Amino acid sequence: MKVPVPPGLNLRPFPMENPETDLHIPIFVRAHARLADPPRRREWQPKPMPQWARHALVLDTETTRTLDQELNFGFAQWCELDPSRDIYVSQEEYIFHRNNLDPQSVTLLREFARKHKLGIMSRDEFVNGGRIHRRFQPAIRHQRAGA
């Protein structure tokens, strides 16, 4: 008795005979052999990106309770990464306020800034001038050059 080979299989049968029953049963063997010591192939690895940026600008703002949430004032910290401790260390701290904030509120913010040795400026000064703006200029120029 012969077992049919499924169509499409290109396997060579190895006949096995059983003298007692006179049956011929083909055996199909498929094997995967591995080399004892395969050659080491160096796969391309991308360069690891730094996990943290060297500098960070941290902002915390207080806004009006109206739907437009207009700026009242905010705090800004320019921080630098200390890689030996994996933390950001504040280098400069500022308070900035809405351009048209009432004089009484500005006076309160100025007193707080003086007491805590913080810089203070209007929103326009914070965005268009001041030290933090100058720190961003190289990054802005780099982005424009790459665009």
pLDDT digits (tens, 9 = 90+) for 8-64: 655 555 555 555 666 566 666 666 666 677 667 777 777 776 778 888 888 999 999
Tell me the β-bridge partners of 121: 96
Domain that holds residue 61: 55-130
φ and ψ of 91, to 5 deg:
-100, -40
Tell the residue number behind the tokens 């011929």, with chain if given.
24
* Residue 124 near residue 100 (C-beta atoms within 8 A): no
Long-range contacts of 46-53 (CB under 8 A, 24+ apart): 52/81, 52/86, 52/88, 53/81
φ and ψ of 90, to 5 deg:
-65, 125
* Residue 120 near residue 113 (C-beta atoms within 8 A): yes
In a domain, 10, yes or no: no
In a domain, 30, yes or no: no
In a domain, 139, yes or no: no
What CA–CA distance (Å, rounded) separates 45 from 65? 51
Signed CA dihedral, 111, 112, 117, 120: sign only: negative
Q: Regarding predicted confidence, which is higher, 102 or 139?
A: 102
In a domain, 45, yes or no: no
CB-count burial class (<10 Å; 0-12, 13-18, 19+) for 52: exposed
In a domain, 29, yes or no: no
What is the DSSP-derived secondary structure letter of residue 7? T
Whole-prediction pTM value? 0.57
> In this predicted model, what pLDDT tens digit does every residue of 85-117 receive, in sequence order?
889 999 989 999 999 999 999 999 999 999 999
In a domain, 116, yes or no: yes
In a domain, 2, yes or no: no
In a domain, 66, yes or no: yes
The count of domains in the chain is 1
* Residue 52 near residue 44 (C-beta atoms within 8 A): no
